[in-house]
Amino acid sequence: MRILIVEDEKGLNEALKAILEKSGYVTDSAYNGTDGLDFALSGIYDLIILDIMLPKISGLAILGELRQSGVSTPVLLLTAKSEVEDKIKGLDTGADDYLTKPFDTGELLARVRALTRRKGEIMDDELRYGDLCLRRSTQELSRGSSSIRLGFKEFQLLEILIMNKNQIVLKDTLCEKVWGPEDGSEYNNVEVYISFLRKKLSHLHSEVTIKSARNLGYTMEGGEK
């Protein structure tokens, strides 16, 4: 799960990042409206946390632009106590929920869970596919009684592949979701990490395989029975 944080207060942005990453989310931070909009338009995020008062472009303008461009990523608005009208405007513009500053960590995480769940991606600790079980809390991949711990990138790749089973996941998508939108130099890493994952699958003697779909991307096989 990858979350975009658009918040110009540096301390709050960093605090949000720390809280979310501690709970296993991957985050990107933008500190002004222009960067926020650019990042958000990539469409790679599972959730966008969006402050309303931002330099350059306001949160509400970003939200309007996203919805007009057909980006339906869930948006959690951050509002100050005094911005009641903005809250209403925000919900009208297509925000999914809002949180009034200052908020407590538990409340934030509950909203984040609810909004990412709305997409149908229930954050159960165990993700199953075929004879495999992937445990999110420990990044452990197991088959029967054997298990192996995955590196964080391997874990993220496999999580995305399992959540999108029965379809081809494009290399570009994997690259953006795991390495982020900024770094084009990591492209070849996808292949390297997929080969690590394949080794681990065969080490577990799993029936599941990761098939290459031409040069486009990957798909999981061996889980349908």
80 touches Ca ion (CB under 5 A): no
Burial status of residue 11 (CB atoms within 10 A of its CB: 0-12, 13-18, 19 or more): exposed
User: Which neighbouring-strand residues pair with 3?
Assistant: 27, 47
Angle 76-117-165 from CA coordinates, rounded to 5°: 125
Shortest Å, Cβ 78 to Ca ion: 8
Using CB under 5 A as the binding criterion, the count of chain residues that bind Ca ion stands at 3
The length of the chain, given as a count of residues: 225
Task: Report if residue 51 touches Ca ion, rule: CB under 5 A.
Answer: yes
CB of 14 to Ca ion, least distance (A): 14
- Give the torsion sign (CA, 58, 64, 69, 72): positive
Q: Is 57 in the site for Ca ion (CB under 5 A)?
A: no
Among residues 8, 131, 140, 207, the one that binds Ca ion under rule CB under 5 A: 8
Residue 15 in the binding site for Ca ion (CB under 5 A): no
Shortest reach from residue 69's CB to Ca ion, in Å: 23
Nearer to Ca ion by Cβ, of 47 and 50: the residue is 50
**Do the strands 97-100 and 75-79 form a parallel or antiparallel pair, or are they unpaired?**
parallel
Is residue 76 within 8 Å of residue 111, measured between CB atoms? yes
What's the min distance (Å) between Cβ of 80 and Ca ion?
Answer: 8
Nearer to Ca ion, 79 or 156 (CB): 79
Find the binder of Ca ion among 12, 15, 53, 91 (CB under 5 A).
Answer: 53
CB of residue 86 to Ca ion, shortest distance in Å: 11
Q: How far apart are CA 52 and CA 85, in angstroms?
A: 11
Binding site for Ca ion (CB under 5 A): 8, 51, 53
